[in-house]
Amino acid sequence: MSGSFDALLREVNASPSERKLIELIERTNLSADLKAILCDLARITVRVGGKVVAIGRRILAFALDLIRTFPGMAAGAVVALVLAGLIDSIPGIGNRYLMAVLTPLLLAIGIGIGALRDMTSPDFNVRVGALVDSFRVLVAV
């Protein structure tokens, strides 16, 4: 079991460096507040069995891997949330009862369309295989 734990620690700590993640975050067009939150997430560590585990870096790396693997789904979710926000801001139309139904519906449609786009792309199997391989060690524990 100790060998599996050590392999898991190596895999989690093999995430991109904190500096590389922060540089990547800083190059985005996100707001300064969101950039600060993501940078704080990259710095989160926990102590497990006397060893420091860079869990924040792994979470960010996983999120970025998902966005790279499924760009259509990510774009569909963003477009759906933007549309929901726009509709919510229209006086008389946007109210919390309507948005409670409309937001999940728009998300389902946006993610569904994005998923279809992703799944029909020619390199889909390669991208998903790479994502699965990057987390295979976590399943082995």
DSSP track, 42-68 = HT--EEETTEEE-HHHHHHHHHHHHHH
In the predicted structure, residue 120 carries a pLDDT above the cut 70: yes
pTM for the model: 0.67
Q: pLDDT confidence of 72, banded at 50, 70, 90?
A: very high
The pLDDT value recorded for residue 76 is 94
Cβ neighbours around 81 below 10 Å, total: 14
- Percentage of residues in the chain with pLDDT exceeding 90? 22
Q: Dihedrals φ, ψ of 37, to 5°?
A: -65, -45
Closest alpha carbon to 7 in 44, 53, 56: 53
Confidence of residue 73 (pLDDT cuts 50, 70, 90): very high
pLDDT digits (tens, 9 = 90+) for 20-69: 888 888 888 888 898 899 889 888 888 877 877 888 888 888 888 888 88
pLDDT at 135: 67
